[in-house]
Chain A
Amino acid sequence: MLDGITNILVVGIGGQGVMTAAEMLARTALNQGYDVKKTEVAGMAQRGGVVSSHVRFGPRIYSPQIDPGEADLLIGFEAAEALRWLPYLRPTGVAMVNTLRLAPPVVSVGLYDYPADPIGELAQAGIEVHAFDAGAIATELGNAKLVNTIMLGAISDYLPFSAAVLRDCIIEGFRAYKPKLAEINAQAFDTGREAGHVQTSS
């Protein structure tokens, strides 16, 4: 986090909630008084393509884009996608990865192979990797859509503001718009936070 600027790259596949997660991070940073920019390439994203969302915050942000090698945090909603975006992470960066594996049609028809061990490859790159099965936690809590909040909980201790600040921002949002889901999301956040502490060894 050079010059007081934090660069977070959230990556995954269209429809997984990557943009929503990035939006929560951006809003929380705004509430904390930072200048914030958030960008992503949308458009065809919801058709199962690659989605990457850049969140930058600090005293003053000009370019909305994170350069390769400049992300402080990489949040991967899918294992191969985390590996795809690895070159964007700083050598001192942290990767928080959902171990979910989603093979696209080009893999199904046999044109390409899905990497045998994407998490292992990440760990071997010398960066700090935290990988866990967010889908399993979500299923245990009874709602597959909780993955988003679980991932946010998992990275909440790796931000320049406290985990409680991010948690409050998310839960308040649910209280205002979907109050029935506030309690279960709070639980998902806390469970994700615990899961995010475990570092994967190379």
Chain B
Amino acid sequence: MNAVVHAKAESRHLLSGNEAVARAAWEAGVRVAAAYPGTPATEILENIALYPDIYSEWSVNEKVAVEVAIGAALAGSRALAAMKHVGMNVASDAFMTQSLAGVVGGLVIVVADDVGLSSSQNEQDSRYWGRFGHMPVLEPADSQEAYEMVKQAFALSEQYEVPVIVRMTTRVCHVKAMVTVAGQRTEHAAAGFQKNPQRWVMTPANAKPRLPVMHQRERQLQAMSEASDLNFSVTSSDRRIGFVTAGPAFMHVRETFPNAPVLKLGFSCPPPLEKIRAFAGQVDTLVVVEETEPLLETEIRAAGLEVRGKDILPRWGELAPSVLRPAIKPLLGEPYQVPTRPQSTVFPRPPTMCASCPHLGPYFALSHIRNLNIVGDIGCYTLGAGHPWNALDTCTCMGASLSMAHGMDKGRGASDEKKSIVAVIGDSTFLHMGMQGLLNMIYNRGNVTVLLLDNRSVGMTGGQENPGTGQNLHGLPTPRVDFAKLAEALGVRPERIRMVDPYELPTMVKLVREETKMNEPSIIITNRPCSLTDRFERFRPYEVIDDQCTGCGNCIDLGCPAISVSRRETVTAKSGKSKELVFARIDANTCTGCHMCVETCAPEAIVQQPQANTIRIHPHA
């Protein structure tokens, strides 16, 4: 168990922003916490789960997570929901109305923006939601601030009966820094749900009177922001440039320009415009450094102040010192020469699938079948767009594969006429938002072949549980969704529901070929667990008998990272054509003995290593 769970008051710890949020939630007396995994927010709930005083769950998606938290807050409990930036889009339907109705127990939504796009499909600035939903936004710059602001967010939420957004970024969530843990848990007992239809039943007649209340609340929050010590300035005698900044950009500004005056906004929405006006009066040039959109900048300009910002700084990505220096130095009249360093010419190393990954089989099949449009989804299987498979044609958002595939079927162009449409989705993504797409496709007589890659985990975020795994966040047994029965219930004909072992390559290829020729919806469901989880069983590794390898390269096409090229030879065939032979080797430390590559090898050059030890022989070997 994480040591910080038992941390004494006034002790120092090296904590990530996510760990700090969890500790603060516990101290703040949170009773209910919910989330759906998503980088860089995943560890918030994983850490909250370590505190026994908090009920915590993996919800099936972010909208559900926020709704669970809202329900708890209406019962008077302090509640927290955590998600990555794109999760906010899913959840927004719930909090946009609840912001109007308000809350009783403190409700805090922690959102993590993937600034710099390390593991997401887009880059969004979640601070917009505060403006859109009339909710305050707090922006921590590091772990210590994340810890303190989460506690303050609960107080603010209860004082103004409003959901509060704590906006993190990757550089807060995943940076480990010193945190002084100040206190222990303070219980906040739930008063229980108080019936009040005028307040909680958001019909037009009840919602309308809430509008002036919400706007009055926003004015009060504005005054609160002006007075808040979360909005503080660092003074200096050098008044050439004064920075207004928020979030981790504050750290980059302090690092790069240690002698410049700075107004740091921790309570950034509503923005403390009078405080900013006073600060602006003390400096020659006001520069806003914010990630990522020019939100504060636009608001400051609208308040009649002259300000620089995105005219000199990038509108996307992190504003690291190496980005700030060339943009700001010229403003100071200090010429800045970008240092010339040798540029590295090393090959790219994109993430790829793992040895024994159960997605390797389906992608081997997809890459060997022609005339397919393959509509993808969010998960490890998105990597199928890469080498050597090149077998994924789109990726947009959670659950989109089935509905987009259906639209692609209905909107076929002349060049698609002879093509089959395939949707590829994983178990957790299917349960998150994919089911509705299948239901819609059946209901509207679509014709898509669905590949449901059930690896019994949320793979990309580190193997979390979901309703298809049979376990919850705490590892306790739960009913396990039966995907075949679910597909049948949604209307797929039983004949078109095919279960397959993805390691059985010939069957895998045959099934995809058969089902894509059908003139009706069908679903192929795989059944091997993610090879990085405890559910995966490791077998004795395989090796290549070098003098039996003919250099056909078929096993390389599998894309298993345990298989690499030992040597290449160019030979001339009888026809006079030259051909490159690719000889393979298998790294015994990486190979986990799944035996998929054996099925690609006609000369039977791949054999299981002798020496039994404790590792079992694969049943198919």
Measured CB to CB, the residues of A under 8 A from B are 13-14, 23, 26-27, 30, 35-50, 61-65, 67-69, 80-81, 83-87, 103-115, 118, 125, 144
Contacts and interface: CB of A to CB of B under 8 A. Distances in A.
B398 interface: no
Contact of A14 (B40, B142, B351): B351
Interface string B313-338: 00000101110000000000000000
A153 to B, nearest CB: 21
A84 B359 CA distance: 29
Given A42-B174, A68-B339, A103-B565, 19 more contacts: A13-B349, A36-B14, A36-B177, A43-B460, A44-B39, A44-B351, A47-B351, A47-B460, A62-B251, A63-B320, A65-B171, A67-B322, A69-B341, A87-B342, A105-B386, A105-B559, A106-B348, A108-B563, A118-B346
Given A23-B176, A39-B175, A48-B561, A104 B349 contact: yes
A125 B342 CA distance: 9
A48 to B, nearest CB: 5
Contact of B347 (A45, A65, A68, A107): A107
Nearest to B560: A105
Interface string B78-111: 0000000000000000000000000000000000
Question: By CB atoms of chain A within 10 A, which of B177, B251, B341, B346 has the most?
Answer: B346
Contacts of A118: 346
Question: By CB atoms of chain B within 10 A, which of A67, A81, A83 has the most?
Answer: A67
B322 A44 contact: no
Question: By CB atoms of chain A within 10 A, which of B14, B116, B342, B559 has the most?
Answer: B14
B264 to A, nearest CB: 12
B178 interface: yes
Interface residues of B, number: 59
Interface string B507-551: 000000000000000000000000010000000000000000000
Contact of A37 (B176, B352, B353, B564): B176
Interface of B: 12, 14, 39-40, 116, 118-119, 142, 170-171, 174-178, 248, 251-252, 254-256, 318, 320-322, 339, 341-354, 380, 383, 386-388, 460-462, 532, 556, 559, 561, 563-565, 568, 580, 582, 589
A47 B383 contact: yes
A35 to B, nearest CB: 6
Contacts of B342: 86-87, 125
B178 A84 contact: no
Contacts of B582: 110
Nearest to B339: A69
A1 to B, nearest CB: 16
Contacts, number: 160
B351 A48 contact: yes
B363 to A, nearest CB: 12
A23 B460 CA distance: 22
21 contacts: A39-B174, A41-B119, A42-B174, A44-B460, A49-B350, A49-B352, A63-B256, A64-B248, A65-B171, A68-B322, A80-B349, A87-B341, A87-B342, A103-B565, A104-B347, A105-B388, A105-B561, A109-B556, A110-B568, A111-B347, A111-B387
A45 B175 contact: no
B175 A38 contact: yes
Nearest to A106: B387
A137 B16 CA distance: 33
Contacts of A35: 178
Contact of B348 (A26, A61, A112): A112
Given A44-B118, A108-B556, A68 B352 contact: no
B236 to A, nearest CB: 15
B179 to A, nearest CB: 11
Contacts of A65: 171, 252, 318, 320-321
A45 B174 CA distance: 13
A62 B254 contact: yes
B39 A42 contact: yes
B341 to A, nearest CB: 4
Contact of B565 (A41, A46, A86, A108): A108
Contacts of B349: 13, 48-50, 80-81, 84, 104, 106
Question: By CB atoms of chain A within 10 A, which of B116, B254, B349, B383 has the most?
Answer: B349
Contacts of B344: 83-87
A32 to B, nearest CB: 12
A159 to B, nearest CB: 17
A14 B175 CA distance: 18
Contacts of B119: 41-44
A80 B347 CA distance: 9
A47 B347 contact: no
A107 B565 CA distance: 9
B346 A83 contact: yes
A105 B387 CA distance: 7
Contacts of B559: 105
B251 A63 contact: yes
Contacts of A86: 342, 344
A125 B344 CA distance: 11
A64 B251 CA distance: 8
